[in-house]
Structure 1
Amino acid sequence: MPAHPWLADRTDRFDSSGIRKVFDLAAKMANPINLSIGQPDFPVPDALKEAACRAIREDRNGYSQTQGVSELREALQAQIDAEWKHADRKVLITSGTSGALNLAMWALVNPGDEVIMFDPYFVMYPTLTEMVGGVPVVIDTYPDFKLDLARVEAAITPRTKLILLNSPGNPTGVVASAAEARGLAELANKHGVALLSDEIYRQFTYDAALDSPARWNEQTLVVDGFSKSYGVTGWRIGWIHGPSALIDKMAALQQYTFVCAPHPLQHAALEAFHTDITPLVSSYRERRDRVVGGLRSAGYELADTGGAFYVFPKAPAGYATGGAFVERAIENELLIIPGGIFSRRDTHFRMSYAASIETIDRGMEVLARLIR
């Protein structure tokens, strides 16, 4: 039963995010070693800050067009057309990638429709599916977090409407291989199922460029945004692109929900096209190598990770669950996220290396101590 008689039944399907609870805990600690936060630790590039202030001073503070300001849409459309060369691929500016995911769910999923996702999953996927009346169909990918295409095909039924792929993945940092992305794209096409590729971390790939399933399936919806790449998570500027009939309907839905992405910040985001983040990505590659090497030297089990800024190690032997290990880490002022938030298993934990080297090293000292 809902906590209050006026609450809709659907509100029983979700609680405050476990990640937010850790954030709240961090605010109460004097000197936490915070390796929980899934946002870049670098400051917003000055050119973007200045462009935001300029747009505000120029009174670009009212509503924008629902589909996004024309200059930003045109810049993104040109980039998308150059990459994909699809005859029918249109872009919509959204209120963050979360807004794009919401619009896609509302536009595509009917009550009772099945949505395939991969465990571990981004924390929003099951909840968003259930909020629109869909049924999450969760495919386990442990221990290496690779896609088993035979299991995907076996999971497809007449009720399957959508497959969700997140690569590079949150919480694992694992990047789908070209063979996996192509196989998923071809399966979706074969069975007439929608495919959404969540590529918010696409610029944070360290070993090879991202292979998107849109390369092999022109009907693929792709979600992306500026939040992670440029350190503007609070600006809420994302986008989604795909077949025009789907994008047009999502734009209509945005009129009745988010209305538009923040107007002045859309103008500021144009500076991203003139801002080189290669050095930032290189610094995160170095942190990835430092963390993965340190964890393995200490004795932790973790899969190969090629993107985003997370690792997803297995909790050490001696702890009943990943959650129990996280509680012990928090007692030592180390903030990490229990894996059960992202999974139907509670055996792992998520650690973010979007932090200073000093903070990472302090965290690694605690983790080395806890495995002994």
Structure 2
Amino acid sequence: MFNAESMITERLKGIDASGIRKVFDLAAKLKDPINLSIGQPDFDVPDEVKAAAAKAISDGMNSYTQTQGIADLRDKVSLLIGHEFPNTLGNGQGGLSDDTGVLITSGVSGGLMLALLATVQPGDEVLIPDPYFVMYKHLVTLAGGKAVYVDTYPDFQLTVEKLEACVTEKTKVVLFNTPSNPTGVVATSDACKAVAEWCEAKGLLLLSDEIYDEFCYEKVVGNDDEMRCASPASYSKNLLLMRGYSKTYAMTGWRLGYVVGPKAIVEQMTKLQQYSFVCAPSMVQFGGVAAMDIDMSSYVEAYTKKRDMVVEKLSGTFELTKPGGAFYAFPKVPEGLGMTATQFVEKVIERNVLVIPGNVFSQRDTHFRISYACSNDKLAAGLDVLVDVAKQG
């Protein structure tokens, strides 16, 4: 007799539904809530990007592209990364080195899945800094690997000492995320250098998820006249650098990203993409070409002010590591309240404000995530509620 449940693999049973969905279920009956939960910019896709994608559709660019992406977009990525990392991924002449490959992916999440499926075998361990982006542990499970959590509390900086405490002979990959989701913390130059060199010495692959690379509020590394957040790619070529268009250009639903790294690995990821995603959406790739010529600094400046509002309003009531990038903050629930982050979030939701409990992103349930990707008025009102709930208990 057929049993649908028996058809489901143990691998999939090891993946639970997103905790973010549970928060949305709790809030389903709320009317016009103050939403500080969603990781999506509150501005729209730039008009130039929309026009480029629409033109591609009108011009008949609706077929499959090459699996690795259209040449114009790959060339743009190659020039950008070659310029930014001339001594590692670059060739010193404005392009990429011969042993470095580029793959256009269906978002950074698509790139992460391809990378883990291409490099992680059953039994392999993947070191994941805790707190972590919610998808990481589940993608490791999908690949057949084992997620090993590296505790980075209280400052959320990944160090070699913390990695050393977790590495085993089964360790294969280290996941690195800067600026971080959910904490907003930006890795220091010293941390990037130390982690990159440690991975090289151990023979481990470093996956550097930098989807929020443009959202940096304290620039810590200079590259000619251009200031950027630090990246481990400045110190090693033996990594997979992953960036995308969802956050910088608000193209979250367009699903576009890219991976740059060792050609031998990128080629295997490309082969896997051929039999899974096939290619990133064609018209979206043309939009991506246009996006890379747009200056988004005014939007980043506006988000810097939002970050400052979060720090100003919450400091003194909550223990908070100041976010240096992305658009998240990860405050700690005051211990005197005697409640978990989940319990605190439930009280906040009763006040018509949506935030996410920390156990969605961590093995702990002591903090909660705020997304300040919303209007200033909504943000101010939501922060006032958080402070009020904390004071009332």
1:171-213 deviation per Cα after TM superposition (whole angstroms, max 9, x unaligned): 0000111111100001001011111110000100101121111
**2:349 equivalent to 1:348:** no
Identity over the aligned pairs, expressed in percent?
49
Which residue does the alignment assign to 1:305? 323
Preserved CA contact (<8 Å) 2:125 2:172: yes
1:240-277 deviation per Cα after TM superposition (whole angstroms, max 9, x unaligned): 11011111110000001110111111001111122110
Shift of 1:101: 0.2
1:87-118 deviation per Cα after TM superposition (whole angstroms, max 9, x unaligned): 33221000111100000000110100110111
Which residue does the alignment assign to 1:358? 377
TM-score by length of 2: 0.92
Which residue does the alignment assign to 1:48? 49
Amino acid at match of 2:38: I
Which residue does the alignment assign to 2:118? 107
Which residue does the alignment assign to 1:8? 9
- Change in Cα spacing, 1:28 to 1:239, as seen in structure 2 (3 Å) is farther
- Change in Cα spacing, 1:230 to 1:26, as seen in structure 2 (3 Å) is farther
Amino acid at match of 2:216: T
Shift of 1:12: 1.4
Q: How many Å separate the matches in 2 of 1:54 and 1:106?
A: 35
**2:252 equivalent to 1:233:** yes
Preserved CA contact (<8 Å) 2:307 2:372: yes
Which residue does the alignment assign to 2:223? none
- Change in Cα spacing, 1:26 to 1:238, as seen in structure 2 (3 Å) is farther
TM-score by length of 1: 0.97
Q: Which runs of 5+ in 1 are unaligned?
A: none
**2:312 equivalent to 1:293:** yes
Preserved CA contact (<8 Å) 2:159 2:195: no
Which residue does the alignment assign to 2:160? 149
Root-mean-square deviation (CA, aligned residues, Å) is 1.4
Amino acid at match of 2:321: A
Q: How many Å separate the matches in 2 of 1:151 and 1:318?
A: 30
Shift of 1:15: 2.1
Stretch moving more, 194-203 or 6-15: 6-15
Preserved CA contact (<8 Å) 1:26 1:34: no
Stretch moving more, 235-244 or 72-81: 72-81
The equivalent position to 1:335 in structure 2, one of 329, 334, 354, is: 354
1:52-102 deviation per Cα after TM superposition (whole angstroms, max 9, x unaligned): 111111111121111001111111111111222233322100011110000
SS in 1 for 2:253: helix
Which residue does the alignment assign to 2:77? 76
Which residue does the alignment assign to 1:33? 34
Q: How many Å separate the matches in 2 of 1:249 and 1:310?
A: 34
Aligned residues: 370
Q: How many Å separate the matches in 2 of 1:368 and 1:132?
A: 41
SS in 1 for 2:258: strand
Q: Which runs of 5+ in 2 are unaligned?
A: 90-96, 220-227
